[in-house]
Each structure stands twice: as C-alpha cells, then as structure tokens.
Structure 1
Amino acid sequence: MSTIANGAANPTAPGYPRPDPCISFWLQGTRGSQSLLGHRTTEDLPASAEVAIIGSGISGAATAYFLLTGPNPPKSVVMLEARELCYGATGRNGGHCRPDCYRGYTGYKAHFGKDQAMKILQNEMDTLNLVTEIIDKEGLRDVCDFWRGLSFDVAMDQECKDFFYNSYKEFIADGGKVEGIVEWIEDAAEAEKRTRSKGAVAAAEFPAASLWPYKLVTALIKLCIDKHGLNVQTNTPVRSVSEAEGDAWLLKTDRGDLKADKVVYATNAFTATLLPEFIGRIAPYRGQCSAVVPTKPFSGSKMLTHTYSHRYGVNDFDYMIQRPKDGVIIIGGGRWKVPVDQLIGNTDDTSKIPVLTEHLKGSMASYMTGWGEEKVGEGLLVDWTGIMGYTPEAVPYVGALHGKRNAYISAGHSGHGMARTFTCSRGIAMLIRGESWAATGLPECFEPTPERLARPKETVEETWVNTREGQPMMH
C-alpha cells in the first residue's frame, strides 16, 4: 500500500485486493442459491477473448452491458475478478446515486475552467437519468430496490453554509441551471424543520436516487451471461498485463494466461498495481459505512422522504439513505474522526476502525430530531469498510490509455462512482466500437492524457496529508 511518513506522501503500488474482506450489508443479503457467489461461466479460464474487462464492480458490469447490448457487439467478452463479483467499492458503498448539482462547481472551475466544470455537473445528472433508463428498460426496479426522489445537503456549521452558498451563487452567475433542480434553503429554522436535522444552518434540495448496488451489478452481469455470452471468472486476480503479438494483450493470472485484443481496466483503487503510471494519480482511500435499524419515529409513514449528506466545513460529511422496502438506514462517513494517514493508501477492508464504528453508531441520534431511545434490535445492525480510489482532482480517469493500443480505463471515481460510472462505462463501450470522444458526451478533463498523467502539483496522498482542504472530495 502507499506509505505516509513525516507528513509527506511516498506513494507506491497498492497491491491486490485482500482475499478475506469483511462483509457489507449488501453482501450479507446475497448468499442464497440464486446468487453468483463463486461463479465461473466456464470451468477453465478461456485462452483468448476479443475484450477482457478487469473488475466486476459497477464500472466493469456497465461496460460489459453497453458493449454486449450495443451495436456490433464483440464476439467474446471475459470479465476477470480478483475476489467475488462486486466485492470491491461498489458492493460496500452507501447505495446512493446522487448527482452534484451545484456544490463542487467552484472547485472544479478552479481546476479545469468554467466549461469543464459545467460538463462535470451535467454528466452527473446525465448519469442519474441513464441509470434510471437502464433499470426501467431491463425491469430491475424491484430487483435492486431502486428509488428516485430528492436529497438534502445539510450544512451543519457556518463554514459549510458559506461553501455551499458561494458555489451555488457562482454556478448560477456562470449560467448554471438551478430552477426546478436545486432549492436553496437559507433560513436555519426552516432547514431544521424541512430536513428534521438538529442544528442545521442551511440546506439545499436536489434530485437523487438510492438502490441496492450489488443487486444492480449482478443483475446486469447475469443478463449478459444468459443472453449475450459474457464469460465471468471470479477469484482470478490479474497479476500483470503485457503486450503480446499482433497488438494483443497478455493477461497473466493465477489460473493461467488470457490473450485479449482489447483490455478495460475497471480496477479503481487498485489500478496502479497493473498500471504503475497511475501511482500518485489514483490512490486507495479506506472508508466505513453502516446499516442502522430505525426507531419508530423514523419508520413506516414517518420514514425519511429524502437522502442526505450532513456536512461540516468543506470536506467532512456523513452520507445517508433510508431504504424504501425495509426502512433500514445506510449511513457512512466520519473520516474526520481518524488521522488521514490511517485512511489514504490503506487497502485493508478486512476489519473496522473502532472510532468510526462508535461514530456511526451514534450518528442518527446526533443528527435527527426525535430519534429517541433505541430499543433492543434497533440502532446499529452492522458496519463495514471499503476501499475507494481517489484522484488529486476528484474526477476519474476515463478513456483510451495513451501509448497502449486498444487499452481503456474507467477508474479513480473518488468515492462518487455511483453518480458517474454508468455514463463513463457507456463512453468506454463507444470508444471500443471506434466512436469519437465527442460522441461519448463525457467531460474532456476525464481523459487520461499524457499532460494529466505528468506529475501533478500534488499526488493524491499529498493532497490529503498536506492540505486536506484542497479540492473538496465529494460523495
């Protein structure tokens, strides 16, 4: 993993996913006979494929889906996963598909300019609409507990209120659209009442969705296996990728070699192990999330009507959804409670951080008015860790890899992948088919250009260790 010493970062390759991770709420509920646990479409690893996809999270699954259901699909697609299907960040996240409709504008503008900042925010709304479209097209609403509605950003102190409002006003001043999309709630008393949040200073309301991410991913993968010939090989870590004869790629695994005409890296936090040029450009970041059984005042007809982010200052926040079917609340965050060097560069998703467990255990009572006393069986049900992949600018690397013919990447989604990956994966599929970057509609600043890969002002590790309040790292 990356090492951090004396306040300065010395990033190294992150290694491989741990073989014995803790099990999230999402993964606990998928151990029945119909699950894809341990799935290998063929007993032996295929010797060759037209396209190899490394990674089976939402990026890998959506790439396979858009490739195989689009025009001129590849003759063969093999998906390789180091562990079980969707056991990485997607199977451990907050179940929150939540576009940034205003908040990150100022930071993105400072990094990339006004036009790209506008494109980044528009891409997130495009992603929410695309996720909705695909779920409805494939009849997956009930399968993955999809809900679409509204979300609250809740400012818990004046610094956060100023951050929200200044970005909101700058976005509008530059021509950003908020009418019918974002409602700014300036008055603290109204913000407290609307959000049911104790101590709210201000709030903003905008569109969002929630879902069971593992079930969406495995439903898309199963569809691709059953109808389109996708070959999935779990528990098959790719140890190296090298050039082979005929402009192909040779993927070496513990179970043999696979030769592929094209390769897609959907490897997020672990990308730099296979692509060393991404050391310091994509870094692992350990997060913690939990499932909470609500008290009666937050159950039945009194369930929360929105998803949430409660935020302090610029970078410190908890994110939360309440599941529509069983009312279970998924809440994660608390990272400001832990020294950053325990999180950045850390790939250990086998255990939990006790300080964060205690924080998450008490978060609902701390935030929500009238939470009340928890009866036996209410409150914290389970918590778990997961490894995200961050970039210095908090936007992913998406596109064709420079100098690597027929190699593509969608990684570094910076804890915000649910709001980006579907459009990114659709874009990768379009590029593989030979379409132009412009046709993808993705922001140009996502591309892994040589200029972007040249040493940035700061590595990811330096951004967190030395400044921590540089570009806001959003969820």
Structure 2
Amino acid sequence: MSTIVNGSAQPNPPGYPHPNPCISFWLQGTRSSQLIGHRTTDKLPETADVVIIGSGISGAAVAYFLLTGPNPPEKVVMLEAREACHGATGRNGGHCRPDCYRGYKGYKNHFGKEQALKILRNEMDTLNLVTEVIDKEGIDCDFWRGRSFDIAMDKECREFFHTSLQEFIADGGPTEGIVEWIGDQEEARKRTRTSKAVAAAEFPAASLWPYKLVKHLLLLCIGKHGLNLQTNTPARSVSQTEGGWSIHTDRGDIKTEKVVYASNAFTPTLLPEFLGRIAPYRGQCSAIIPTKPFSGKNIMTHTFSHRWGLNDFDYTIQRPKDGIIIHGGGRWKVPIELLVGHTDDSEKLPVLTEHLNGFMKENLEGWGEEALGEGLLVDWTGIMGYTPEAVPYVGAVHGKPGAFITAGHSGHGMARTMTCSRGIAALLRGESYESTGLPECFQPTPERLNSSKITVEQLWCEADKTGIPLMH
C-alpha cells in the first residue's frame, strides 16, 4: 500500500508478519513438528557471531552452508517472528522451476546479454544444488525431479515465449536437450491436456514439500552444528553499534558482528533503504483433490504454468506421492491494489478462491464432474517480496559493514534461494562476491537502490516496460 506525500505515492513500510496467519496445506500436514514453539535456549542470547533474521528456505540454507562449511562460527542465532518456516516458504507451491529461456529477452534488455545468461544459468545451478543437498543429507521432502510445461494460452503469449527462446538460442544460451518448443497447436493441446493451449515449451523442473526441506536443514543445524533457533521472536529494529549490530526484540537485545536479512517482503521494516525496492505482494494457492481422469495411471507427468499475455499466469503441480494438485495464481482477477503492499496472510480473497476452485474444470481436458470429496481441499495466502527487475537483492548491504541480505525473490524463490544462500555463507566467511558464482546484478548496489521506487500502480507497469515477466 502507499501514502500520498507532496502529491506523489510513497510506499508504506510493511511492518511485521501477522501474528495469526492462515495455515497452508504444507503446514497442516506438519502440525506434529518439533520445531513448533522451538527455542533452543529459554533465554535469548545476548551475543552472537552471526544473527540470521528469518527461518524460511533462505535463512535455513544460509545456516546450513555456513555451519557445514569451512571454519564455521561458534555462535549462530536465528530469529523468527512466528513459527519456523511459516512465512513465504511454508506457503509457496513447492515448485523448483528454473527459467530456462522465458525471461531472457527482458533480462537482456535490462541488464545486458552477459548478466541475462548468468541469471538463467543460476536457476539451473539452483535446481542442481537443491538436488545435491537433498541427496547428500538424505532429506525426506517428497522431492521429485522431472519436466514442466510453459503453456501459451493466447497468441500474445505464444509470441512472447517464442521470441525470447529464439533470442536466447541466438545468443548462445543452452537449449539442446533442455528446452523443447511445441509450436503445433494440436500437439500442444494433446501433450499438456489443455484444451485452449496455443503453444507450449517443455523444460526441467522439480517439486517438493518446502516445509519438510527447511525442517530437516534446521534440525540438522540445531542438533549437529549448534544453531540457536528462537521462534516467535520478531526483530523489531536493528541499530549499528561499535563493532557490529544490536537487534532489538520483545525479549531483549542481541549483539552481533554480522547480521543476515533473510526476511524477504518484510525487509524494508528493518532496512528502510529497501522501502519501495522490495514490495510485499499477496498471493493465493490451493490444494486440490483430482478427479478420476487425473488419478492413478492418469496422473499428470509434468508441472504446468498456464500463461495469458506477459504477466497473467497460474501454476500447477501434481504431487506424485499422493496425487494432490497444488495450484496457485489468478492474480489478475483482482485489482492490483488488493495485492501489492498487503502483508496480511490471515485472510483470503473470495474471488481468488473461486478462481482456484474452478480452474481445473475450465482448462484441463477431461477433468469431468467432481464427486463429493474431490476438487478444492484448502486454499491459503502467502506474502511474496517483489523487485522491479524481478531479481533478488543478494550480497553485502552498502555502507553497513557486517550486514548482508538475501531477499526480494519475486515469487520465484525456489528457483534461486539455495544458491543465493550459499553465496551469502561465502561472503560471511570473507570470500569475494565473484567466488559465489552469482550474477553480479543481484547485488544491492547504490545504483539499484537509487533507481525509481515501486508504488502500487507501477509494479505491473515496470514488468511490462522492461519485458521481464513476473515469474513462476
């Protein structure tokens, strides 16, 4: 939301996470978790070597790579405003879906060819790193790796997909054995089981139970590497002290030499220079019980994204383990003023519930009538953090020694956060940004922070103007 100051709209600080959020499908299924209400020590430590603010996949992965890497610090404390992993990570679609071509043209227009290629390469690197960590640590999180379809639902989207793919290929982007273009309409409809498809592209993707991944990483770090997790302890403010930072909470203050902001949409509350640079964005997702034609041997073999034009899209993942379909989207069904700037994840928008409830029968060929117990099981709300360029802020915070950020993942965090967090761990150890392998354009440079701010009215316009699609 924004406030009018001297005739112009100014974004408001996001405040703090809502104390009583709704419960997602993922969180409903993990109510026995030993992380609920967890505090490693009854009393908040007075000092730490590193404090991580946020316990979603970004914060958990920073802790994991830092504590399992060389020369780990002795005292790492993680502060979480609510329960562990009850923010965006515990509410997303569990869709680890790299952009293998789609955003290339827009990124190139904005950042140049070299950075655009790095952005897309980083997403495949992330998918591979997620796979590696899950295999190495034996994490039971329903991980499944396969293929996905981008489905163009109109001619404008078909043109957008195809031209971006062709430009990516022309600039040397890797597509052989990775991206398959399906330009024939009938073939696209048959393969995607989507009656209104115009064209499609197929490429790698994966899915998982996000809370279970984060839970495993946090318990590993707590049990074997000394992480001190303090839930229900919101960081209210951070002030600079001699030799470090003092983080103020309702339970006292904690002093640290280094602090990591893994607080995504809520980051501008603690780092005002990011106000308007990271905009909260409320989305809605659902779990759906499939009809018989989409059950058993007829389960969907791919994950999906149906897209109209540049920025209207839904995404769909059918879980191989139980057949439940995770489906999110419909954001264009409501005025943008009801989405951007809102941080209340305790309520749902009825219009979006109606959209999620009807999407399958309206768009998937042969869905059929829903028997009692089939169809919409539950839907929920989550708060994302968007940036105008649709890339995150990852790196050292300018002018604040010992402060680091990984936030603003723009609804695309599962395809980016793991490598970003590994990079932050390297920076905490004193390594160079170049050593992280991350795109340089992710850095929170003064130039990025001094560019125009986001208002409610501008977010979609920024995406259309740059040609960078809002992701999934």
Q: Could you say which TM-score interval applies, normalised by the shorter chain?
A: over 0.9
Shift of 1:248: 1.4
Shift of 1:3: 4.6
Shift of 1:20: 0.6
Structure 2 CA distance, aligned partners of 1:357 and 1:241?
38
Work out whether 1:439 is the aligned partner of 2:438: no
Any residues of structure 2 matched to 1:250-329 within 5 Å, and which? 250-329=246-325
Identity %: 73
Shift of 1:466: 4.7
Partner of 1:133: 132
Partner of 2:234: 237
Work out whether 1:159 is the aligned partner of 2:153: no
CA contact (8 A) 1:282 1:460 kept: no
Q: Deviations over 1:310-332 (max 9, x none)?
A: 00000000011011111100000
Shift of 1:365: 0.9
Structure 2 CA distance, aligned partners of 1:41 and 1:53?
14
Report the number of matched residues: 470
Query: 1:40 is matched by which residue type in structure 2?
Result: R
Partner of 1:78: 77
CA contact (8 A) 1:8 1:465 kept: no
Any residues of structure 2 matched to 1:456-471 within 5 Å, and which? 456=452, 458-459=453-454, 461-464=456-459, 466=461, 469-470=464-465, 471=468
Query: 2:239 is matched by which residue type in structure 1?
Result: S
Q: Deviations over 1:70-99 (max 9, x none)?
A: 000011100000000011100000110000
Partner of 1:120: 119
Shift of 1:12: 1.7
Q: Deviations over 1:308-363 (max 9, x none)?
A: 10000000000110111111000000001000011000111110000000000011
Partner of 2:51: 52
Any residues of structure 2 matched to 1:349-428 within 5 Å, and which? 349-428=345-424
Gaps of 5+ in 1: none
CA contact (8 A) 1:341 1:465 kept: no
Structure 1 CA distance, aligned partners of 2:263 and 2:240?
19
Any residues of structure 2 matched to 1:11-30 within 5 Å, and which? 11-30=11-30
Gaps of 5+ in 2: none
TM-score when normalising by structure 2: 0.98
CA contact (8 A) 1:8 1:466 kept: no
1:331 aligns with one of 327, 332, 336: 327
Partner of 2:146: 149
Query: 1:236 is matched by which residue type in structure 2?
Result: T
Shift of 1:112: 0.3
Shift of 1:463: 2.8
Shift of 1:300: 1.0
Q: Deviations over 1:43-72 (max 9, x none)?
A: 110111100000000000000000000000
Structure 2 CA distance, aligned partners of 1:381 and 1:14?
30
TM-score when normalising by structure 1: 0.97
Structure 2 CA distance, aligned partners of 1:276 and 1:91?
26
Structure 1 CA distance, aligned partners of 2:94 and 2:238?
32
CA contact (8 A) 1:280 1:461 kept: no
Structure 2 CA distance, aligned partners of 1:207 and 1:468?
24
Query: 1:109 is matched by which residue type in structure 2?
Result: K
Shift of 1:287: 0.2
Partner of 1:198: 195
Query: 1:44 is matched by which residue type in structure 2?
Result: K
CA contact (8 A) 1:2 1:346 kept: no
Give the secondary-structure state (helix, strand or coil) at the position aligned to 1:448: coil
Query: 1:145 is matched by which residue type in structure 2?
Result: D
Query: 1:449 is matched by which residue type in structure 2?
Result: T
Structure 2 CA distance, aligned partners of 1:4 and 1:465?
19
Work out whether 1:100 is the aligned partner of 2:95: no
